[in-house]
Amino acid sequence: MGNLYHNKCLFKMNILILFCLIFSPVHGLNLTPIVNLTSGPIQGKVTEYESIDVYQFLGIPYAKPPVGKLRLQLPVKPDPWTEVKSVTDFGPACFQPMNPVLNIPYTGKTRIPMVPLHDVILVTINYRLNAFGFIYFGANEPRIPPNIGFQDQLFALKWVHENIQMFGGDPNSVTIFGESAGSMSISAHLLSPPSKGLFKRAILESGTVYTDHDVDVLITDSWKLYNKTSCSKSEDVLECMQNLTANEILNSLDNKLVAFTFTAGGNILPYEPSKFSYKLLEHYLRAQLERAYSDLFFVCPTYIFGHQYASYLGKQGGKVYAYYHTQRPKAYLPFFNEWMGTFHSSDIPYVFGLPLINPGYSQKDISLSREMMKIWTHFAENGEPPMVGETKWKPFQEKMSAMILNIDDWGKTELERVEFCLKEWDYLYPHVIHAMGKLNLNHVTKDVLRDDN
C-alpha cells in the first residue's frame, strides 16, 4: 500500500471548480475530489498545514496484500473496483523488528510539511522488509525469487508512472529518494534495467548497494530462519512458509540489524553492483555506437538533405516537414537487440498498419500506427501533415525541428539532434562518403515529408 499527499493547488482549475460541488464532510472529515485510478476510483481526506489545504490519499493499494499464496512471490495487481474506495487512513506497517533505538514498533505515520510549502506531490510506499522481502533459499527453492522487496518498489514505481497524472503530477518528472536502507534501494534502481524511464532524478541519503551482501551468507541465514520455524520438518518450503503466521517468521529472525539483504542476479540487479562501471561502459559504448551509426548513415544525411531541399523548394513555394521516429515496434524484426533502440526501418510496420492485423504488438504500437497512417494520408491529400495532439507541425523552413513520432511523446518536437546535424555536417560528410564507399550503401531513407506544390 502507498500514501500520496499533495497541495490541492496542483489540480487543474476545472477540478477546483468541481471540488466545491463534491467536497463534503463525512464522519467529521473533509473529503477530496474523487480520483479515478487505473484500478478504480478513490477518495481521500483534506488536512491543513499553515492554513494550506493538503489532500491526503492514505493506504492506496498498488498491489494485492502479500499474504497466503502471495507471500514470498512477486507483487500482483489489485483486483479492479467500481465503488469509490475510501483512502483516508494509513494501512498497516510492514512487519519488521522493533526500532532498535527506541524499542518501539515502526508505524510510518507522520505528517509531512514538504508538500504544502513547496507545491509537490509526495508518494510514500510500503514494501516487504527483512525476511519477508529478501529471504532467498538459492537453487534449492527456485519458486521463491530474490529481491522481492525491490520488486515491490519497482511495482510501485510503475504504479506512479501510470497514475500520477490523475493527481496532477508529471510521470516524466519523478524524483525518488530514500535514507539508509531506502538510499540503498535508490542506488539499486539507478542500476536496474527495468527501472529505467520510471524516474528522472534520484537523491541518495547515506546508503548504496556497495555494501556487504554475500549471497552464500544470505542463503545460510534464510535456511537458519526456516529451521527455527515449525516448517523445519516440511519438505515443501514455499507452501509451509506461506502458511506460517507473520509473527512466527518475525520471531525467528536473528538479532542482526540487517539480517537479509539483496543479491545480484535476476532482472533487478542482473550483475554485481561493484562491477557496474564495466557493464556501464559496455552499455555506454553500445549507445554511442548506435547513435554514431544512425547519425552518420541515416539521421544527419536525411535532415541535411531536407534542409537543403527546403532552401531550394522554399523559393518555389513548397514546404518540407521533418519527423523523428523513436518508438520501437514490439513484434517487428525481434532479432535486433534492445540496445539498438529504434532501428532503421522501424517505421515500416506503423505506416502499413501491421500492429492492427498482426499479433505481438502493444496497444501503444496500435495507437501509433493509426496516427502515422493518418499523417501519411493527410499529407498525401493536403500537402501538409495534420496537427499532432495540440501541436502544429511547422515546416522545416520555419523551425529547424522534427516532430517526434512516439505515442508517449505525442506533440513534442526534437531540436537537439537536428541542430547537431546542421552544425557537424561539414565534418561528418567526408566520413559518410568514405564509409558508404566501403560498405557500398547506395540509399539513405528516413524522416522527411516533402510537398513540391
Q: How would DSSP label each residue in 120-172? A: -EEEEE----HHHHH---GGG-TTS-S-HHHHHHHHHHHHHHHHGGGGT--TT
User: Residue written as cell 539513405?
Assistant: 444
Percent of the chain scored above 70 by pLDDT?
76
Per the structure block, which three cell numbers stand in for 14? 476545472
pLDDT band at 284 (very low <50, low <70, confident <90, very high): low
Report d(CA 124, CA 370) in Å as an integer: 38
The residue-averaged pLDDT of 35-53 equals 93
Q: In whole numbers, what is the pLDDT of the chain averaged over residues?
A: 80
Per the structure block, which three cell numbers stand in for 19? 471540488
> SS3 of 178, please?
strand
Report d(CA 235, CA 146) in Å as an integer: 20
Question: Is it the case that residue 9 has pLDDT exceeding 90?
Answer: no
Q: Which residue has the higher pLDDT, 435 or 382?
A: 382
Report d(CA 402, CA 25) in Å as an integer: 51
Helix (H) or strand (E) holding 184: helix 181-191
Report d(CA 199, CA 197) in Å as an integer: 6
Q: What is the pLDDT of residue 403?
A: 93
Report d(CA 94, CA 59) in Å as an integer: 12
Question: Is it the case that residue 164 has pLDDT exceeding 90?
Answer: yes
Question: Is it the case that residue 117 has pLDDT exceeding 90?
Answer: no
Q: What is the pLDDT of residues 234-257, one digit of tens each?
A: 989 999 999 999 999 988 987 665
The residue-averaged pLDDT of 398-427 equals 87
Q: What is the pLDDT of residue 51?
A: 87
Q: What is the pLDDT of residue 104?
A: 59
Give the orientation angle of helix 300-314 with respect to helix 416-439, to 10 degrees: 110
pLDDT band at 12 (very low <50, low <70, confident <90, very high): very low
* Contact (CB, 8 A) for 248 and 229: yes
pLDDT band at 105 (very low <50, low <70, confident <90, very high): low
**Minimum mean pLDDT range among 19-23, 111-115, 177-181, 264-268:** 19-23
The residue-averaged pLDDT of 85-100 equals 83
Query: Could you give phi then psi for residue 394, rounded to 5 degrees?
Result: -85, 145
Fold of the CATH domain 2-270: Rossmann fold (3.40.50)
User: Residue written as cell 523488528?
Assistant: 97
Per the structure block, which three cell numbers stand in for 97? 523488528
Per the structure block, which three cell numbers stand in for 264? 545480484
Indicate the domain borders of the chain: 2-270, 279-451
State the number of CA atoms in the 13 A half-sphere of 14 facing the CB: 0
For 410-432, letters b (16+ CB in 10 Å) and e give beebbeebbebbeeebeebeeeb
